[in-house]
Amino acid sequence: MNRNLFLKEIRRNAVSLMIWMIVITILIVLTMSIYRTFMENQSKIVGMLSIIPKGALQFKGISNFNDLLSVLGFYAANNVIYMMVLGSIFSIVLSSNILLKEEYDKTAEYLLTRPLTRSDIFLSKLAVLYLNVFILNLVTSVAGFICMELVKKGPFSIRAFLILTLYTLLLNLLFGAIGLFLSTLVKRAKPITTFSIGLVLIFYFIFTLSKITEGAAKIGYLSPFRFANVDAINPAYTIDLWHLAYFIGISLLLTGLSYRFYKRKDIYT
Amino acid sequence: MSTPIIDITDLSKFYGKARGIEHINLEIGEGEIFGFIGPNGAGKSTTIRILMNMIFPTGGSARIMGMDVIRDTKKIKMQVGYIPSDANAYSSMGVHEFMNYCIHFYQVRNGEQRISELSELFELDLNRQIADLSLGNRKKVSIVQSLLHNPKLLIMDEPTTGLDPLMQSVFFELLRSENRKGMTIFFSSHILAEVQMLCKRVAIIKGGKIIQLENIDNLRKKQLKKVYIEFGDKVNKENFSISGIESVITGPGNTLSFMYSGNISDLVSYLSGKMIINLMIEEPSLDEIFLHYYKN
């Protein structure tokens, strides 16, 4: 890893990270700010929710309406889209551009002619990706935690909150690995941002479809979202080791392949 | 020649079935200013990209300072400066920020002083954003960054594009000065006049192959001459045939011009029976020599 390159990349992505952190944090704060109103009108809202198909609630991790009455259940159900989907979009956009941008911006000729190996470049950029995803998750999770502390009516399981946070981080990192992998496959340099965002949304759509359509339950396994359990209010909520192995295994595999491809990639500008 | 600073052996690069370069062999000695000329698509940039480890060869090998360009790329690049053909630096950076970023990859003493010296020489404003610079100024950024760490070898790919004549002259003077201090220069260009001004030896590349490797002076001295003849009566170029003439052009009046690579006394003997008003034999320009090799 090269410190100079690492610091430059951190600076280069700082504004983008800041914007994403602010947007997701605002969404979390706004969502959690309605929790008290929700509690005050719970009978009416639960009545309204009862007309929504059960599957439609399930995909948000709500197995029971009463889940929403718990602050953690409310947080898990309402913020999953921000932290998991938006976090994954941030992660894949960053990862799919972090190497490729040097090619389509035609700056690769400056980067590759420095005293750096391909490994130095790859590892420096990977570290930037991990650090960015980690900071985004840390800040938004802390914001979520503070919001829950401020609006809670009773205690909630910090352990369950941490597991939920871990799943979000692992999902974001997996999409980071997918973006990195895709970028190393691109032969002629051009941005793949739209494709990457589309991929996250397609996976989320597949996951949603599998939750609301009984006949499509199995296709849910095609989507990484299926392996991030958000049913935090379930008393048996814990880390599924198979799911953990899935996230870590696929992430490592894709990152390893990306490293291998990048080391031998012909880079044109 | 001393130990080659660049040693290319049987180097090839194919893009699928398309040819990039084919079986290139080249040795460049320490302290040389070497010209690498050929038109667009001839394989100049492909060769340079392999030397700089941006792309990988499909055959052969290349060594810089005795080190393999793939395995030892990091060590090599500590001592190599590179000026790319496209002057696209990081547009989000300021000029000074970019220079600082570049210099931090090397162990350079008095880095700030070096940045100031070179920037002043090229009248480069360090306080501007790269995105706001003209092509010429971006090229200056590109030149300055390549020299910050006092490289032992400077590789340049079309380095003068966008530079005004005054800056070209400053740049060439600097190159001569750095060369006198020991810097080897590999100068790739399709502008023959500038190669002629600077280089001592030159390789001409055509269709991915080196077709001529020669001292600039020898290249000019090689019996190739440019001949103009004005005849006293009408002349038909089809009837004008002698071994060694090429590119015969009929000019206004009764004039002919052609390139001649044979013995001058043979030409004079051949012309002796003809009515000649004017005869000029001169050194061809490098462009004309280049075109001659290309046609052949």
Q: Averaged over A1-20, what is the pLDDT?
A: 93
Q: Averaged over A130-158, what is the pLDDT?
A: 93
Q: What is the pLDDT of residues B122-143, one digit of tens each?
A: 999 999 999 999 989 999 999 9
**Domain boundaries defined on chain B:** 4-215, 222-295
Q: Averaged over B60-81, what is the pLDDT?
A: 95
| Full 3-state SS string of A161-217 | HHHHHHHHHHHHHHHHHHHHHHHHHCCCCCCCHHHHHHHHHHHHHHHHHHHHCHHHH
User: Above 70 in pLDDT, residue B12?
Assistant: yes
Q: What is the average pLDDT value for chain A, to the nearest integer?
A: 89
Chain B residue with minimum CA distance to A15? B92
Query: B144 at the A interface (CB within 8 A)?
Result: no
pLDDT for the residue B293: 66
Question: Is the sign of the CA dihedral B174, B178, B181, B184 positive or negative?
Answer: negative
| A178 vs A93: CA distance, rounded Å | 10
pLDDT for the residue B239: 72
Tokens 């910050």 locate to B148
Query: A112 at the B interface (CB within 8 A)?
Result: yes
Higher pLDDT, A105 or B26: B26
Q: Which of B54, B78, B91 has its CB closest to that of A112?
A: B54
Question: Is the sign of the CA dihedral B241, B244, B246, B249 positive or negative?
Answer: negative
Q: Report the range out of A130-144, B97-111, B130-144 with the highest average pLDDT.
A: A130-144
Give CA separation, B19 vs A178, B46, B50, in Å.
33, 10, 14
Instruction: Say which range, B1-5, B71-75, B91-95, B144-148, has the weakest mean pLDDT.
Output: B1-5
- Does A65 map to a domain? yes
Cβ–Cβ below 8 Å for B77 and A108: no
Tokens 């084919």 locate to B22
Query: A8 at the B interface (CB within 8 A)?
Result: yes
| B101 vs B104: CA distance, rounded Å | 5
Cα B181 versus chain centre, distance: 21
| CATH code for the structural domain at B4-215 | 3.40.50.300
- Does A90 map to a domain? yes
Higher pLDDT, B40 or A90: A90
Q: What is the pLDDT of residues A244-259, one digit of tens each?
A: 999 999 999 999 999 9
- Does A141 map to a domain? yes
Q: Which domain holds residue A117?
A: 3-263
Kindly list the residues from chain B whose CB atom is less than 8 angstroms away from the CB atom of residue A117.
73-74
- Does A255 map to a domain? yes
Nearest Cα neighbor of A190 from A103, A108, A107 is A103
Query: B86 at the A interface (CB within 8 A)?
Result: yes
Kindly list the residues from chain B whose CB atom is less than 8 angstroms away from the CB atom of residue A109.
52, 54, 82, 84, 86, 88
pLDDT for the residue B294: 64
Burial class (CB in 10 A: 0-12, 13-18, 19+), B269: exposed
pLDDT for the residue A35: 86
Q: Are B219 and B284 in contact (CB under 8 A)?
A: no
Question: Is the sign of the CA dihedral B212, B218, B223, B226 positive or negative?
Answer: positive
List the structure tokens of B57: 């060869």
Chain A residue with minimum CA distance to B148? A114
Higher pLDDT, B174 or A153: B174
Q: Which of A2, A112, A120 has its CB closest to that of B52?
A: A112
- Does A43 map to a domain? yes
Question: In the 8-state DSSP scheme, what is residue A82?
Answer: I
Q: What is the average pLDDT value for chain B, to the nearest integer?
A: 88
- Does A269 map to a domain? no
Chain A residue with minimum CA distance to B58? A266
Cβ–Cβ below 8 Å for A115 and B56: no
Which residues have CB under 8 Å from B50's CB, separation 6+? Answer: B11, B13, B21, B56, B57, B62, B69
| A39 vs B29: CA distance, rounded Å | 82
Query: B135 at the A interface (CB within 8 A)?
Result: no
**Residue B116, H or E segment:** helix B111-121
Q: How many distinct structural domains can be found in chain A?
A: 1
> For the complex shown, is ipTM > 0.90?
no
Q: Are B45 and B116 in contact (CB under 8 A)?
A: no
List the structure tokens of B128: 């501007």
Query: CATH fold of B222-295, please?
Result: Alpha-Beta Plaits (3.30.70)
For residue A19, name the pLDDT band (cuts at 50, 70, 90): very high
| B181 vs B284: CA distance, rounded Å | 32
Cβ–Cβ below 8 Å for A113 and B73: no
Q: Are B184 and B76 in contact (CB under 8 A)?
A: no
Cα B135 versus chain centre, distance: 20
Query: B3 at the A interface (CB within 8 A)?
Result: no
Q: Averaged over A159-185, what is the pLDDT?
A: 95
Query: A110 at the B interface (CB within 8 A)?
Result: yes
User: Above 80 in pLDDT, residue A84?
Assistant: yes
User: Above 70 in pLDDT, residue A55?
Assistant: no
Q: What is the pLDDT of residues B231-287, one digit of tens each?
A: 888 877 777 777 778 778 888 878 888 888 778 888 888 888 788 889 998 877 666
For residue B58, name the pLDDT band (cuts at 50, 70, 90): very high
Q: What is the pLDDT of residues A110-136, one digit of tens each?
A: 999 999 999 999 999 999 999 999 999
Half-sphere exposure of B232 (CA within 13 A, CB side): 7
pLDDT for the residue B11: 95
Pure H helices in chain A: 3-33, 35-40, 42-49, 54-58, 71-80, 87-98, 100-104, 108-111, 118-151, 158-185, 193-212, 241-263
How far separated are the first and last CA of chain B, in Å rounded? 29
- Does A149 map to a domain? yes
User: Above 60 in pLDDT, residue A61?
Assistant: no
For residue B295, name the pLDDT band (cuts at 50, 70, 90): low
In this structure, the strands spanning B33-37 and B201-206 are: parallel
